[in-house]
Amino acid sequence: MSDSHQPYRVLARKYRPRNFRELIGQDAMVQTLANAIRRGRLAHAFLMTGVRGVGKTSTARLIAKALNCVGPDGQGGPTIDPCGACEPCMAIAEGRHIDVVEMDAASHTGVDDVREIIEAVRYAAVSARYKIYIIDEVHMLSKNAFNALLKTLEEPPAHVKFLFATTEVNKVPVTVLSRCQRFDLRRIPAELLAAHFAHVVEAEAVAAEPDALALIAQAAEGSARDGLSILDQAIAHAEMGEGAPLVTATQVRDMLGLSDRGATRRLLGLLLEGDTGALLGAVRDQYALGVEPLSLMRGLLELAHAVTLVKAGRDIANPGQSAEEREALADWASQLGFAPLHRLWQLLLKGHDEVASAALPIESCEMALLRVMHAATMPDPGEVARLLRDGAPAASVPGQAPQSAPSNAPSAQLPASFEDLIELLYRRGRGQLSQHLKDCAGLSHYAPPLLEIRLTDPWHGEGDFFRETARALKDITGIHWQVRQAEGPVAPTLMEQENRQREDARAAIMETPVVKAALAAFPDAELSDELEQWSAER
């Protein structure tokens, strides 16, 4: 029957690795298995872990073939290079071998399912060298199912091998992990994926631009299956060329909603130049072209990271990088210091998180980028404070455009006293911290940005009180504060001082002749709060 009458198989299934040579990106694991087979040191249980699509289940099937292959002449033994032509190899590849049992733990989670395996392992393999149990997503088994499996897993019959696969190894009990030989399958590098996709499109008689394959490899995030699924979609999306589809980078960007790298570079340039109008216009242009705000923020993050790596002297050349991009990265790296780059990264990362959860994504994106524009190129707050403290003129402060010291410079925001600090926290929406400082903090030393206190009552809010206070003060003043526990004596809390002043004022009022005469005439009378307030105001 011709291929035209065969049902279509998606690329992720069609190009599943048939031998260890086709398993890309896992050389260390293959070498370990090859040595174990060659020396006859085969474990009775293997655990494959890693993100989706890196080849965990495929590896388990390849191990099953390697252990049961008999060679074309039927006389071979276990080998890292199974022939693929003998009956065991073909039956395992087609999923019909009676001695190789695959079970999906997501739909067989109970102890009864495991009990069937425990009962069956006592019997020898029907036709294979080893009876093999492949359990996919093994972390989905119940606690009772794991417990039922433990004894058999530790001391299985010599003819039985267990092969487990999971994406969440942290959910597998330690008692199970200790009984398995573990292989951590790595994310597949983008360059290997792009090369693999090039072979696939060639086999499929499809033309594809190298940049398009590089984009797909980056979008796959280390997963061969995800990448092949995206490639499948890209081929279907592609326009027909001269007899064959042509997958272009532009079409892939449109399909995935990705920002054009050139447009992202222009956007970062506008961001660093401080051109507000042009920046907002470029953002809206990208949005009109179908680029998602989150994708735009991600692209800027990738560029900021790339510039930092170039600044650090690391070669980050990749197949999808153009000469223009390399030149732009080198130019930015030569102009920007590490401190501005780190602040740029932090601001973009915060903006990315805001856009991801925003009800108005494009508006949140614009506001986040405006914040980046006005804050990313500011000088280091510590350096500003040092220069202003030492009497340096404002024009000498790096990155400060105005020729006179701005009124909102970080040093101008430092409260002059402990009372002013508490008031500042209250006015800036940190009421709980402000109240606790007033009521429960005895002051030892106050020299901004240093604060030494001792708490009379524990903090019942979230996190450590000293760390939360330092973080709040840094957010408000822009300067790193040290808020620490006092070792020596401390002053009474502000609340205690106010109470003492109130008691002293009351005692003074009670000693006045008028009050004494009034209490003598009316023994049951009490001093009202209004009289205390009136006396205090006078």
Residue 173 has pLDDT above 70, yes or no: yes
Q: Does domain 414-485 have CATH number 3.30.300?
A: yes
Question: What pLDDT was estimated at residue 402?
Answer: 41
Q: What is the mean pLDDT of residues 369-393?
A: 64
Domain range list for the chain: 3-184, 190-256, 263-375, 381-411, 414-485, 495-537
Residue 506 has pLDDT above 80, yes or no: no
Question: What pLDDT was estimated at residue 412?
Answer: 43
The CATH code of domain 190-256 reads 1.10.8.60
Q: Does domain 3-184 have CATH number 3.40.50.300?
A: yes
Question: What pLDDT was estimated at residue 488?
Answer: 78
Of residues 398 and 481, more confidently modeled: 481
Tokens describing residue 245: 């589809």
- Dump the DSSP string for 252-279: HHHHHTPPPHHHHHHHHHHHHHT-HHHH
To the nearest whole number, what is the mean pLDDT of the chain?
Answer: 82
Candidates 405, 495, 471, 479; CA nearest to 447 is: 479
Q: What is the mean pLDDT of residues 85-108?
A: 89
Provide the pLDDT confidence category of residue 258 given band limits of 50, 70 and 90: low
The CATH number of 263-375, from 2.40.50.140, 1.20.272.10, 1.10.8.60, 1.10.287.180, is 1.20.272.10
Min mean pLDDT across 4-18, 37-51, 430-444 is at: 4-18
Residue 366 has pLDDT above 90, yes or no: yes
Residue 78 has pLDDT above 80, yes or no: yes
In the chain, % helix, strand, coil (3-state, to 5) comes to 55, 10, 35
Question: What pLDDT was estimated at residue 503?
Answer: 82
Question: What pLDDT was estimated at residue 489?
Answer: 85
Q: What is the mean pLDDT of residues 66-70?
A: 91
Residue 388 has pLDDT above 70, yes or no: no
List pLDDT tens digits, range 120-139: 888 888 888 999 999 999 99
Helices (H), 357-394: 361-375, 381-389
